[in-house]
Amino acid sequence: MRNNEMKKKIVIVAGARPNFMKIGPLMHEFIRHKNIFNTILIHTGQHYDFEMSEKFLKDLNIPKPDYFLNVGSASHATQTAKIMVAFEKVILNVMPDLVVVVGDVNSTLACAIVASKLNIKIAHVEAGLRSFDRTMPEEINRIVTDSLSDYLFVSEESGLMNLKAEGVNSKKVYFVGNIMIDTLLSKMNIIAKCNILNSLSMRDKTNKLKLKTYAVLTLHRPANVDSNESLTKIYNILKTISQKTKIVYPIHPRTKKMIKKHNFLKKFELLNNLIMVKPLGYIDFIKLAKDSRFVLTDSGGIQEETTFLKVPCLTMRDNTERPVTIKKGTNYLVGRNKSRVVRHVDYILNNSNKRSQIPKLWDGKTAERIVRIIINSCNTEERRK
């Protein structure tokens, strides 16, 4: 074992709910190589509610963060700036050899900018994804983070093509597969034993949930929930679908705030078959999705998880940065046009699932590949010295 001074210091950043299932396997793999690495976890506090953060750390056995920056919610500029200021203070103290950022949230962008200004190497996990829609904050975060990164770890082949088209040096780009599937596979046994269907059915005796007879809904994108106009469209869609099937809806705090603000909460509550629940933890959510007939969502990661679980997914967006879930997986892009969404729901309810494939390298070994690449690159650097 090397002494502490000789070990490589790795900082891993997490901030928002979709980050936790991506950093879990990485943390575990870096810690498995504790003779080489000193691994430090920094939680920015972008998400802070128990259901949005701590519950996930617990579900995924992620060690307590070494630093919690407690930035909370704010406008994009303010939130990003607050993360940058707080992260810079910590990073000047820690002075890591590498900062690992995942996904496309504001924490990803903010920490990548800080590291790059301090000449600290950056690894971006889930690099290369593009929706080609710059009105999405995540697209800006992806483009800037990729342009600053030294290691670009790609989850699907479209990422390789996008980075090539942007002229990124191919020596920095590695196709390693989907890190979220590492988490999903490692939790399969626990997910199988999870009792969420029963506990939701107990809570609401009129709405018993039976295997493959209900849908799961998640919605939080600004384009879907921030205006009266979009909420009206969503409400009308849900009104029609809920006449055909039960819908379980774990509601994101952002969406709850918006539907209250635009006076939709009562209307949603009055839809008989719409079962609104608090945001669920990782294990409960995956179990609920796995046993559902289909999922209706505007999330990024859920498009991938449903593809892996072979559950049909209707994505209520105009584009996706994860095209493999459509080409090979179970995903359909349905937008917000009511007749289009309802047509797809009818199709799913009346037909067997489309044949789908698990995309290449979504095999549970992504963290292993990433850490191996970093070890090899450290060894090459040391030989050069």
Q: Residues interacting with ligand UD1, by CB under 6 A?
A: 16-18, 46-49, 52, 73, 79, 104-106, 137-138, 220, 252-254, 257, 299
The answer to whether 154 and 370 have CB atoms below 8 angstroms apart is no
Nearer to ligand UD1, 209 or 219 (CB): 219
| Least separation in angstroms between CB 13 and ligand UD1 | 12
| Least separation in angstroms between CB 213 and ligand UD1 | 27
Nearer to ligand UD1, 203 or 257 (CB): 257
In 3-state terms, what secondary structure has residue 331?
A: strand
220 catalytic? Reply is yes
Q: How far is CA 338 from CA 32, 49, 150, 238, 241, in A?
A: 49, 33, 43, 9, 10
| Least separation in angstroms between CB 184 and ligand UD1 | 17
Nearer to ligand UD1, 47 or 369 (CB): 47
Sign of CA dihedral 175, 178, 183, 187: negative
> 72, 5, 75: which is closest to 44 by C-alpha?
72
Nearer to ligand UD1, 210 or 257 (CB): 257
| Least separation in angstroms between CB 258 and ligand UD1 | 9
The answer to whether 146 and 152 have CB atoms below 8 angstroms apart is yes
**Integer Cα distance of 237 and 243 in angstroms:** 10
Residues 28, 220, 252, 262: which is the catalytic one?
220
Residue type, 26: L
Which two three-digit tokens encode residue 169?
């040096």
Q: State the residue for tokens 């070990």.
A: 7
Which two three-digit tokens encode residue 87?
């992260």
| Least separation in angstroms between CB 91 and ligand UD1 | 20
Nearer to ligand UD1, 231 or 345 (CB): 231
In 3-state terms, what secondary structure has residue 279?
A: coil
DSSP annotation of 226 reads S
Nearer to ligand UD1, 244 or 260 (CB): 260
| Least separation in angstroms between CB 218 and ligand UD1 | 9
Write the DSSP assignment of 42-91 as a string of letters. Answer: EE--SS-SGGGTHHHHHHTTPPPPSEE-------HHHHHHHHHHHHHHHH
Return the active site residues: 220
